[in-house]
Chain A
C-alpha cells in the first residue's frame, strides 16, 4: 500500500515536473475550502503563471506556522499565506522567510512597511449582534451592561488572541480591570471562531466576537440584514493577514510572481466575498455593495508585531486571572 502510494506520488511528481513547475502554498484550511478564496485564486493564478498552484490547508493561522516550523528548512512550502500580526514576530524569529521585494500602495488604515511579511487582507475585530438591538459603545459600557457575549479562547484561537490585544492596546495597564468587569458578561469561551459564531446564531448570547465585515456575509450571501457590528469608541483592533516567501523555496521566481499576484486586482477582488475581509488594495470595481453599509471605526488599533509578542504572555496571565475568579 505504502509503496504503491509512494510510487504514484513519484510518478505524478515527475509528470508535473516535465510539463509545468509547481508552486506550493501553505495556508489555513478555510482558505482552501470550497467556500473560501482558494478555488478562484488557483484558477486566476494558473491563468497567468504557466504553473501548477498547489494549495495546502492547515487548520488555522497558528497551526500553519507550527506546521512550517515543524518542517523547518526542508519544508515543501514555497509560500506561507495566512498568519496575522500576532504571530508575525514568532514567524520572523524562525529565520525561515525571505524578503518579498514587492512595492505597492496599501489601502490600509495604518502604515505598513515590512520587507518580509506582505499583507493580503485585513479586518477589524468587533462584537456582532442582532440589528435593531442597542449595543454598548465601548468595553466599559459593555461591562456595565447586562449584555451577554461569546468570546474565543486566546490560547487556541487567533480572534481570541486578537481580542486580548484589543483590550491591551486600548487600556494598557487597566486591561485587568476591564476583563474583571467583562467576566459576568461572558457566557462562555470557545475553542475557535466557528464554535462561538455557531452558538451566537443559536441565540446563546447577545453578542459574539467576530469582525465588522461579518454582517456583510449575511447581507450578500443570505440577503439577511439582521446582523450588525457594534462600533466601539476606543477604536477597533485590526487583524492584518500576511503572506511570506520561504527562504528555502526551490521556485523563487514563481514565488515572487505569486506575491505580486496577491496584491493585484485579480486576487484582491476575490477576497471580500470569499474570505469576508477587506482587500489590502481596493479593486478597480470597488468593494461589493454589502460592504458599504458596514461600520467604519474612528480609530484603528494595531500593536507593532514585536510589542504584541512581548505583551502576549502578560496579557494572557491577566486574562486568565480575571476570568478564573
Chain B
C-alpha cells in the first residue's frame, strides 16, 4: 500500500549508500554502514526559507529590476562602470586635500630617490680614451660633473653632443660601463695642413675643420701650407694639388687661394703657377710635363699662367726680359 498523505511522523534521513552498477558493497567502510539515523521534525521548514507560498510570483518591482539587470549595457555599467566611479570618487576625495597630495608626492619622490641612489646605479669616475692630455683636460672642463652621481641623472646624449662639439674631437661615444665608470671614447682630429690667415696660423684636418691654433709655422714645418680666404673649405682640392706637385720637391712653398675661387701654387724664387678654377690638377700636370722636357721652372720665369687652358702664358722676370730685349736689339743692329 502506498502512502499519499502527510504522516506526522519523525522522518528518518539516512546517508545514502553507494548504489548502481559500479558500487561494490565490499568497498563500503563498516563505520559508514552503521550511521546513526538523523531525526528531524517535519514542519520545521515552516519557519525556514521555504515558508513562502509554494508558487511565488515575482513582484512587479523585482521583475522589472531583474530585467533591468539583464540588459547588457546596464550589466556592463554595474560590473565595470560602478567600481570605476567609486574608485575615482574615493581617490578624488582623498586627494582633495593639499597636504595629502604633498605627502603622497613626497613619498613617491623619496622612493624614487632611494632606488636611484642604490650603489648599483652610481657613477664614480669618468674615463677618457683616445684623447691627448690637453684634450682630456678640455673635456673635463666642458663636462663638469661632480662624482659620485646616479646614472639616472646623467644625460649621456647631451654629454656626447657636448664633447663632439669640441674642435679637436672628430667623434665621441659616451657610455656608462659596469662598475660605475662613465666611459668616453674620443677620436681626435689629425692636423694635416697649415692655414695661414691674417688672424693667425691654424691647423686643419682633411675636411677643413679647425683643429688648433698655433703660434708659428715652424712648429709644424712638416705640414704643407695654404693661405687665402676661404681656403679651409677646399682642403681636399689643395691636398690633391700638393700631391701632384710632389715632383717639385722642396721647391713648393704653398698654395694660395685667390679670390676664393682658384689656387696659385707658390714655389721658391718667387715663382708662381696660376691654376684655373676647373680641373686645376690637370693644368698642373701639363706644367709639370713641360717642366720635365724643357726645365721650364728652372728658367727665369716669374709666373706660369694656366688660367686659360687654350692659352697658357709665361711671364718672365724683369731681368730676363731685359736680357731678351738686348739680344733682340743686337740681332737687329747686327747687320
Q: Real complex partners, A and B?
A: no
Which residues of B are at the interface with A, using a C-beta cutoff of 8 A? Answer: none
Hey, which bits of chain A sit against chain B, CB under 8 A? none
